[in-house]
Amino acid sequence: MADEARAKDFYGGALGLPVRGKDPTGMMILGLDGTASLGLMVDAQALHSGHTAITFEVDDLDATMADLEGHGVHFEDYDLPDLKTDDHHIYAMGGGDRASWFADPDGNIICLHQGGAIEYNM
C-alpha cells in the first residue's frame, strides 16, 4: 500500500482486520484468526502485480461478500477462457470450491475462497 492511513482504513475498517501495530521494519501487522497475522508493507513506490496477492479462506462466501459489500468493497467480474464469474461475482471451480475477487485501494487483488476440494500442502 502506498498510504498508511488508507491501508488502515481499508484493511482495518472495511475488512475488519485488527491493526496490531508495526514490526521493527515498519511493516503494519494485521491480526488474523488465532495467533496468525498478516504483514503489510507500506511503500509510497509500491506497485501491484495484477495477480492475486492473497487468498482468504472463508466458511460462507455469500455472507462474507455481503458483509464486505456493506463496508464499500466492490467485487470484480472476470470473463476469461478459464475463469468466468457469474452474476454474483462468483467463480465456481467444481468440487464445491467457489471464489470471488476484489481489489484494495492500490489495486492489489484479494481472493475469497470457500470449499474443500483444494488441498494445501505446506
Is 63:81 a contact under the CB 8 Å cutoff? no
Q: What is the pTM of this model?
A: 0.86
Cα–Cα dist 108/115, whole Å: 23
Cα–Cα dist 106/89, whole Å: 20
- pLDDT band per the 50, 70, 90 thresholds, residue 104: very high
> Considering the chain, what percentage of its residues have pLDDT values greater than 70?
93
Please, which residues have CB within 8 angstroms of residue 78's CB and are 6 or more apart in sequence? 84, 85, 91, 101
**Residue-range domain boundaries for the chain:** 1-46, 47-122
Is 115:98 a contact under the CB 8 Å cutoff? yes
10-64 pLDDT, tens digit per residue, is 999 999 999 999 999 989 999 998 889 999 988 878 777 788 999 999 999 999 9
Structural fold of domain 47-122:
2,3-Dihydroxybiphenyl 1,2-Dioxygenase; domain 1 (3.10.180)
